[in-house]
Structure 1
Amino acid sequence: MAGGKQTPRQKMINLMYLVFIAMMALNMSKEVLTAFGNINEKLAESNSSVAERNSAAMAGLVAKAEEQPAKYKPLQEKASKIHEMTTEFTAYLEEMKSMVLEGVDDPQNYEAMDKSSPLDEYFFQSGKASNKGQEFLNKVESYREGVASLIEDNYPQIAAEVRREFSTDPVKDSEGVKKPWLAYNFESFPMIASITKFTQMQGDARGAENDILSVMLSGQLQSEVSLTNYEAIVISDKTAFFNGENYKGKVVLGRVDKTLQFDKVIINGNEIQSTEAGQVKLDFPAGNVGQQKITGELQFKEGDSIISIPVNNSYSVIPKPNSAVISADKMNVVYRGVQNPMTISIPGVGNVSANAPGLRSVGGPNYVMDVTTLQAREVTINVSGELPGGEKVGDSKTFRVKDIPRPVGTVRGEDGTVRMQRNTLEIATIGATLPDFDFDLNLRVTGFKFKVPGQPTVQVRGQKLDDRAVAALRRAGRGESVQIFDVEAQLANNASYKLKQVSPVFVELTN
């Protein structure tokens, strides 16, 4: 929508306007009417493709809002309002097209759609806009101002573009005479031309929604990668220490960046030099029995500023073991569909017994937990043992049970929007991955849908484009974006587990 290089769809719309001008000067021919019909079909196909992308983006935003409501819920609510307004407006335009086509025996016979009277009588009365014509203007203005007012504080450039695209101000014709917008665009035009104009307006509305969703998501992603959003996490080698032991653990950021180098690390008043791969290694006396604190800060440069992340945590020093220590190797969560490794022990106790649904021992303190068939959202592990003096000790711990996160589609190992040459895409492997997931899972793609703008969606079986998909790809223009969606993926070692829907991937053709 915004300025810059014109898309093929916009070029086609400009061509349509040239035909409009030619119509005013020439006697209408059957070939021109057919050309309008063909343009309308192409616009409708393009609109369908954009609508699919918008729906996929909305679905991804809804999923993000469910997983991280504080971060994504405001965006999702605003996007939903825009989606609702766009859906209502495009549906109204579809009703207008149906109204114009009432009484037409064959909607594919464009040569017969040369009359202007049906819409002229509907939109105009005594040389002015009729009540129905004014209702149409009100719909356009309501959509324009509704969308623009919702986004103008955060995205003023797109808001201005929406107001320009759906302006209903008077227009000067080729002779310099100012005409009302409704008359300039619809009065005395053949039926098929007006239908094409309605289809173009539907495309403009869906294009506006697509631009807004893209800017919303890209802005949020830019915010997420800012280091100011990270928090320091203290990870102890174990949760309790005996009197006289050294405390051992490490301090990391919420998302470890191995390229990150701290400028200064201060823990408990002392500057720490032992840092590597975005982590701070800790090794100091644990202290006296009781609760001990770890405080300090991590400092690093971001641009011209010094960013400081506070460190604030605590640990317990105990005189003897009196509770079980249960440490999930993959954080305090167990996942369905995978073998969750667990380390279960009681300090000072040799023989420990642990039980829970799906839990089995694999030797010593090592256990594996499979909760694939467990419907509950939490699972509790009960642990018991006997101290050397015969005293019985026991404890339990509850873990959250979660599904494997939503995978993302990839082309040649890249996700999101990928720039690629056409011949590279023809032989590229379509895959799926789980970014930042704690388990290294092998996902196998068995099929996907392939969409080139203006062409039917191709269902592909396997991991590469088949002949039909390659043929569709070769008809795509340079700079166009093709979509790979509805990717069918499964766990290579657990095909019975049903993964969440894979996010789509877009490929921008560079040649």
Structure 2
Amino acid sequence: MAGGKLSARQKMINLMYLVFIAMLALNMSKEVLSAFGLMNEKLTESNEIAEERNEAFMQGLAEKVSEQPAKYQPLKQQADQISKLADDFNAYLTELKGKMTATVDDPTDYEIMDKGDYLDENFFKGDKLKPEGQEFLDEIAKFREGVVAVLQQNPDLADIADDVEKKFATEPVVNRDGNKIDWLDYHYKGFPLVASLTKMTQLQADVKTTESEVLSSMLAGKLKVEASLTNFDAIVVPDKTAFFSGEDFTGRIILGKNDKTLKADKVVINGTELPDTSMQAGQTLLKFPAGAVGEREIEGEFQFKEGDSIITIPVKSTYAVVPKPNSATISADKMNVVYRGVSNPMTISFAGVSDNNVSASAPGLSKVSGVGKYVMNPGKGREVSINVTGTLPDGTKVSDNAKFRIKDIPKPTGTISGQDGLVKLPRNSVEIGTVGAKLDDFDFDLPIQVTSFKFKVPGQPSVNVNGTKLNSQAKNALRKARRGDNVQIFDIKAQIRGNSSYKLKGVSAVIVEITN
């Protein structure tokens, strides 16, 4: 383009073209570097979300272990192993990325990360690996082989194990020219710093994804086992709690996880195989002589086909045969007292007398849906008497009564953001927190609504607040509080949602120590 035969003008034009092309190449290079940087940022954000999801899973699993340790502890141990492998590898990559970005003045300026000197000098010495390069490969192998070792304990996770081996493989790679190149050379040697940094972040994303897939698959496998017929229990439900001597026992057997489409292949009770007509809509109907007075046993088994196996579910229960009753059974479902301002559920029955032949009466007592189910809403006074009458099959009347103490709902406890008593919170949490009230150690879950409260900052006048959150005046007072000041939330007014006529006792105050 710049030969001697060209005119000076043509030589100048050609030179300008060369400069223009060089500028285009330079701009394109910067755009590519920036694109890698943006990709790295997106992957970093995604990794943070995945980290939160995995942590939430582990917390939920820990709660299940505390509730049912025998069932979930083995699963928790495997999950801990996976989590430890992922955390260790991720920490190593994070430290390595920190060293890489420390070589540039501004880690957010991706256009200056166009050199690959750091990894080239840190990982390689000519055509050989330095100890740091071998350590990088060892960390990948440690994670890959550790995860596969855990997954091999569970045949249902074999697919994930294969995927981990492929995703974290470090065998030599064949390039487009057909030459075999070491994995580390192929992926990291001679690349711009930002490209290697993005690859490291992608590796972290693969670690988080693997951890999520393994943890979720473990739980799914556990739920699959839980849904198996081996976990069903047979429950004997008599038509009544006791039977007279000479009566037939009547009742039914319901499987714990009831499915109306479910039907056993065989049911044997007390040594006798029941006919097909006894099995209807997921229930097995029973009818046989009750026997003499005393405790009687029901023993047998359900048989189901599951795959190529026969699953046997044992049936074992007892029932009582009693003489004709002369007294009623009266009990409060939740406590031995009834509370004013609360609908107290009660069960009232006569042993051996059907529910339609039992009547009960008392001030505030009413019948609700269900066998023997009543609700007591006591009024004034400190005691209520319930009178019960039953009609036996022969027409004989029997009666009984019982007295229950009447108590008021206990004093509620004030809260802010769910905490009560003396709590420590930052100023912002107090400003946006919700003031509430709860009933400690109370057997009823009552919806309590705070209507107003007073707010006091040391050195400032008290502020009256309507509702459950600080108003602008209270927030202004809060801004004048200093670190360590005790802010008071007192004179809390509250009522039962849906029953504002009942006057609750005064709600206890909340003291908040400002921590910032």
Query: Which category describes the TM-score, using the shorter chain as reference length?
Result: 0.5 to 0.7
Specify the alignment match of 1:66 in structure 2. 66
Separation in 1, partners of 2:252, 2:45: 56
**Aligned AA (1:139):** E
**Aligned AA (1:202):** Q
**Change over 3 Å in CA distance of 1:389–1:165 after alignment to 2:** closer
Separation in 1, partners of 2:100, 2:343: 61
Deviation at 1:80, TM superposition (A): 2.1
**Aligned AA (1:210):** S
Specify the alignment match of 1:81 in structure 2. 81
**Change over 3 Å in CA distance of 1:180–1:323 after alignment to 2:** farther
Specify the alignment match of 1:290 in structure 2. 294
Deviation at 1:220, TM superposition (A): 2.2
Deviations 1:147-197 (A, max 9, x none): 111112322332232122212233333334433322322222111011101
**Aligned AA (1:81):** Q
Separation in 2, partners of 1:328, 1:76: 40
**Change over 3 Å in CA distance of 1:282–1:341 after alignment to 2:** farther
Alignment of 1:239-278 (within 5 A): 239-268=241-270, 269=272, 271-272=274-275, 273-278=277-282
Q: Of the candidates 219, 226, 229, which is equivalent to residue 227 of structure 1?
A: 229
TM-score (norm 2): 0.58
Deviation at 1:288, TM superposition (A): 0.4
**Change over 3 Å in CA distance of 1:390–1:251 after alignment to 2:** closer
Separation in 2, partners of 1:60, 1:69: 13
Separation in 2, partners of 1:160, 1:31: 37
Separation in 2, partners of 1:229, 1:76: 20
Separation in 2, partners of 1:266, 1:199: 62
Which structure's relative contact order is higher, taking Cα pairs within 8 Å and 6+ residues apart? Answer: 1
**Aligned AA (2:75):** L
Separation in 1, partners of 2:91, 2:192: 22
Deviations 1:238-272 (A, max 9, x none): 43333233323211101111122334433232525
- Tell me, yes or no, if the aligned pair for 1:346 and 1:352 is still in contact at 8 Å: no
Q: Of the candidates 193, 196, 199, which is equivalent to residue 194 of structure 1?
A: 196
Separation in 1, partners of 2:398, 2:343: 36
Q: Of the candidates 169, 172, 176, which is equivalent to residue 171 of structure 2?
A: 169
Deviation at 1:306, TM superposition (A): 5.0
Deviations 1:14-35 (A, max 9, x none): xxxxxxxxxxxx9881121112
Specify the alignment match of 2:351 in structure 1. 347
- Tell me, yes or no, if the aligned pair for 2:279 and 2:285 is still in contact at 8 Å: yes
**Change over 3 Å in CA distance of 1:157–1:301 after alignment to 2:** closer
Separation in 2, partners of 1:384, 1:134: 86
**Change over 3 Å in CA distance of 1:323–1:64 after alignment to 2:** farther
Specify the alignment match of 1:54 in structure 2. 54
- Tell me, yes or no, if the aligned pair for 1:386 and 1:393 is still in contact at 8 Å: no
Number of equivalent positions? 349
Task: Say which SS state the counterpart of residue 214 (structure 1) adopts.
Answer: helix
Deviation at 1:97, TM superposition (A): 1.4
Alignment of 1:97-496 (within 5 A): 97-154=97-154, 155-268=157-270, 269=272, 271-272=274-275, 273-303=277-307, 307-319=311-323, 341-345=345-349, 347=351, 362=366, 366-367=373-374
Separation in 1, partners of 2:282, 2:51: 42
Deviations 1:379-400 (A, max 9, x none): xxxx999999999999xxxxxx
Q: Percent identity?
A: 51
Separation in 1, partners of 2:160, 2:218: 11
**Aligned AA (1:292):** R
**Change over 3 Å in CA distance of 1:186–1:173 after alignment to 2:** same
- Tell me, yes or no, if the aligned pair for 1:323 and 1:393 is still in contact at 8 Å: no
**Change over 3 Å in CA distance of 1:127–1:339 after alignment to 2:** farther
Deviation at 1:96, TM superposition (A): 1.5
- Tell me, yes or no, if the aligned pair for 1:322 and 1:393 is still in contact at 8 Å: no
Task: Say which SS state the counterpart of residue 29 (structure 1) adopts.
Answer: helix
Deviations 1:406-454 (A, max 9, x none): xxxxxxxxxxxxxxxxxxxxxxxxxxxxxxxxxxxxxxxxxxxxxxxxx
Separation in 2, partners of 1:137, 1:339: 68
- Show structure 2 runs of 5+ residues with no match: 1-24, 335-341, 378-385, 391-396, 404-496, 500-516
1:91 equivalent in alignment to 2:95: no
- Tell me, yes or no, if the aligned pair for 1:243 and 1:317 is still in contact at 8 Å: yes
Separation in 2, partners of 1:150, 1:305: 28
**Change over 3 Å in CA distance of 1:67–1:368 after alignment to 2:** farther
**Change over 3 Å in CA distance of 1:225–1:189 after alignment to 2:** same
**Aligned AA (2:212):** N
Specify the alignment match of 1:448 in structure 2. none
